[in-house]
Chains A and B, each alone.
Chain A
Amino acid sequence: MPGILIYAEVQKGEIKKGAFEITSKAKQLAGDVGGEVAACIIGKDVEGLASELAKYGADKIFVVDGPEFENYVPEAYVQAFAQVASQFNPSIILTSASAQGKDFTPALAARLKVGSISDCVDLSVSGGKLVAKRPMYAGKAYAMVEAVKEPQIASVRPNSFAIEETAGAGAVEKVSVSLDTSKIKMEVKSLELAASEEPDQTEAEIIVSGGRGMKGPENFKILEDLAHAFGPTATTGASRAAVDAGWRDHSYQVGQTGKTVSPNLYVACGISGAIQHLAGMGTSKVIVAINKDPEAPIFTKADYGVVDDLFKVVPPLTEEVKKIKG
C-alpha cells in the first residue's frame, strides 16, 4: 500500500514548523510513490489544530487526543502512532528530527520491526524506494541511505525543506487507541521550559553565535540584542570554548559535541572556527564571520566577513538591522 504518513509534533499548543516542512515534502514525494499523504497528531486538546495540516498537502489527518497524551512519553506515543500506522499502512513514514522526534522515531521503527534513517537533510524516491541524504561526522561527510523494509522511516532535520501551501483533502479522523499502560514505565513529573519564545537552535532561521572572543558571559547580551533585532525566528548560539568556559549553557553549543544546525543565516562572532564548530554549522545557507583576527579559519567558510573588534561591530549592526526591520 503506497502512501506517506507523517508525525506532526505539537509543542505548546501549536503544530511545529517542522511538521509543515515534512508535510510539504511528503506532498511532492507522493507524486513519485503514489498514494495519499496522511498526518498524525498526538496530544491533549489538539483536535482543533488538525485542519492546519491540510493547507500543506495532508489528505488525511489522524488525531489521537486525550489526557493521557498531555506530555510526551515515548511508550504511549509509540503505541498510539503504531496503531495509526497499521490502520493507514503507509510505505513511508516521515518525522521531524527535533529533540522529541529523535527520541520517538527509532523507538517507533523498532516497534514496527523496521529501520529508520535519522536527521536527513534531503529525500528522494528512486524505483519506489525512499533514498535519504544524511550528514555523518557532524556534517564532515554525507551518506545516501536506503531503508530495507517498508514502511521506510526517516526523520528530517528542521529547516531542510521549504513550507509550501498546496491544499490536500484534509479529512480529519479521530482515532481512539487502546493503550497497554502496563508497558508505560515512565512518567513526566515536571517540565521546566524557559519563558523565552526563542526557537531552538536546530529550528531557528537565524543564529547569532559567540565564541571565545566574547570574553565573558555578560557580553552575550549584545548577541541577544542582535538576534532580537532579526526577529522571532532568530536565536543565539555559542562555540564549545564559550560553553566550556561556563559562559553559556550547553544547550546553546553548536558543533560536533553540541547541536548541528542549518539556519538561513549564521553570524559567528569571535569564533575562530575549529573543525568541530565548522562541521556543526557548515550547512548554514549564509555564514557571516565577525572576528578581529583576519587569519581565523572561520573566514574560509564565511560568505561575508568583517575583520574588526566584534564589540565595535555588533552594536551598530543591531541598530542597522532595526532600521531595516522598521
Chain B
Amino acid sequence: MNTVVCMKQVPDTETLIKINPEGTGIVTEGIKWVMCPYDEYAVEEALQQKEKFKAGKVTIVSMGPDRGIEAIRTGLAMGADTAVHINDAAFYEKADPYATAAALAAAIKDLEYDAIFCGKQAIDDDSGQVPAILGELLGLPVVTLVVKLEVSEDKSKAVATREVEGGHAVVEVSLPAIFSAQKGLNEPRYASLPGIMKAKKKPVDVKTVSDLGVSVEPMTVIKEMSLPPARQAGKILEGEDAVEKAKALTKALHEEAKLI
C-alpha cells in the first residue's frame, strides 16, 4: 500500500511560548522542535499499513524551513521510505491553513498513493484545517479524528472508526482517501539505531514555489499575537480538617463565585 504522510515540525509541548516584540509571531530561538505528536500517529499508521500489505512506499511530505529536515529524518528513521521537503520562505512564512494545504496538494498530486495520513491538527497553530482543505483540493474524501482503521484487501475501501462527540462513528470510505489521526490510533514506534543510520541515506526531495508551479496567497492573516492574561494565584481555603476545607470551598463557590 502506498501512502503519503503530511507532517509538520512544531515546538515541543514543554515549550514556554514568548511573543516577538513586533507582536507578529512567536520567538523561535531556544525552542526544541519536534515532529507534531499527532503526525507521529500518522507516520505509524502508514508504516503499519505498509507492513500489513507487505508492499508499498511511505512518503513524508512536510513544509518548513531548513530545521524541518530533522523531523523529516525522524520519520524516515521510523521507517518511511522517502520524503518531500517544501522549503521556501515564500510559503512557510505567511502560510495559513489554505496556503499550507495548497502547497501540500501541489507536492502530492503527482505521487502514487492509496491513502494520505495527517495528524488531526498541528499543535502550534491548532487550526486543524489542513486535512479538510487538502481533501477539497485533491478531490478526496476526508475522515477526521480516526482512532481505528481497516483497509480492505483490494485497497478499494476502508472502514474507519472516528471520534465524535459522546462516542464513535464507524464510516466506510472509498480509497484513495485522507485520514486525520487522533491519539489512540496506534502507539508510535521509536526510531531504532539502524533506522537512524539508514534514514541518513534516504532521498529527500527539496521543492520550492517554482518547482511546485503554484503561487498561493493566504486566505487568513494574523494581525497580532499576544499572551493570555496572567492568572494570579488565588485563595487557599483553610480549615481544621479536610471536611472543613470542603465546606469552605463550597461556601466560596456558592457565595463568592456564584457557581452553585
Contact = CB atoms under 8 A, between A and B. Distances in A.
B205 interface: no
Contact of A100 (B125, B127, B140, B165): B165
A302 B233 contact: yes
B253 A288 contact: yes
A275 B124 contact: no
- Chain A, interface size category, equals 35 or more
B245 interface: yes
Interface centre among A98, A106, A134, A304, by most chain B C-beta atoms within 10 angstroms, is: A106
Contacts of B133: 106-107, 109-110
A1 interface: no
Contacts of A275: 13-14, 16
A203 B166 CA distance: 11
Nearest to A294: B236
Contact of B171 (A119, A138, A186, A251): A186
B219 interface: yes
A288 B172 CA distance: 43
The B contact surface, by secondary structure, is mixed
Given A137-B11, A141-B26, A317-B250, A115 B126 contact: no
A309 B242 CA distance: 7
A187 B171 contact: yes
Contacts, number: 268
Contacts of A119: 126-128
B242 A99 contact: no
Given A300-B233, A312-B242, A147 B220 contact: yes
B144 A103 contact: yes
Interface stretch (B73-81, B83-91, B223-231): B223-231
A299 B231 CA distance: 10
Interface stretch (A19-27, A29-37, A161-169, A188-196): A188-196
B252 interface: yes
Nearest to B134: A110
Interface stretch (A46-54, A62-70, A256-264): A256-264
Interface of A: 11, 71-75, 98-100, 102-103, 105-107, 109-111, 114-119, 131, 134-149, 185-194, 196, 198, 200, 203, 206, 230, 250-251, 253, 256-258, 260, 264-265, 275-276, 282-283, 286-288, 294, 299-309, 312-314, 316-317, 319-321, 324-325
Q: What are the 4 tightest A-B residue pairs by CB atom distance, in nearest-first order?
A: A115-B219, A312-B242, A110-B136, A106-B129
